[in-house]
Amino acid sequence: MNILLMDGVTYEEWMPENEDQFETVVKKHAKEIFGEQSVYLDIKTKLKSELGTSSIPDGFVIFFGDSPHWRIVEVELSWHPLHDHIVSQVGRFISGIENTSTQKKIVDTIYNEIAKDDLIRW
């Protein structure tokens, strides 16, 4: 087991058994990962291109502050094949968000998620 000591804190290497286990950790530590001025939304919605190819990301994160923006979140394990799995999936995400009907679906889905959550709605 690899150990890292930084600023007096000991960190042990951890390898998740599967993506679900890793995704749970990402959700739990979203503020530390994405920053205090962010909101992680655990939304599974299909991003579909005009040609019909699609993929479902693990969630979305909205960044507030000086330059508000949002990002697609996809939790991946390091041993997944780069081109066969990860690059093709990112390509499907890009194709999906270029589709105007998918853009509307994303906006509506995020709006509805925020509207039903008293902690992030203001």
Summarize pLDDT for 17-60 with one digit per residue, the tens. Answer: 999 999 999 999 999 999 999 999 999 999 999 999 999 999 99
Stated pTM of the model: 0.83
Range of the domain at 64: 3-115
- Does any domain span residue 24? yes
- Name 55's bridge partners: 47
Dump pLDDT digits (tens) for 48-82. 999 999 999 999 999 998 999 999 999 988 887 78
AA identity, residue 17: E
Give the total number of structural domains in the chain: 1
Strands (DSSP E) found in the chain: 3-6, 9-12, 38-41, 47-48, 54-55, 59-63, 69-73
Query: What percent of the chain has pLDDT above 70?
Result: 98
- Does any domain span residue 120? no
- Does any domain span residue 94? yes
pLDDT greater than 70 at residue 105? yes
- Does any domain span residue 13? yes
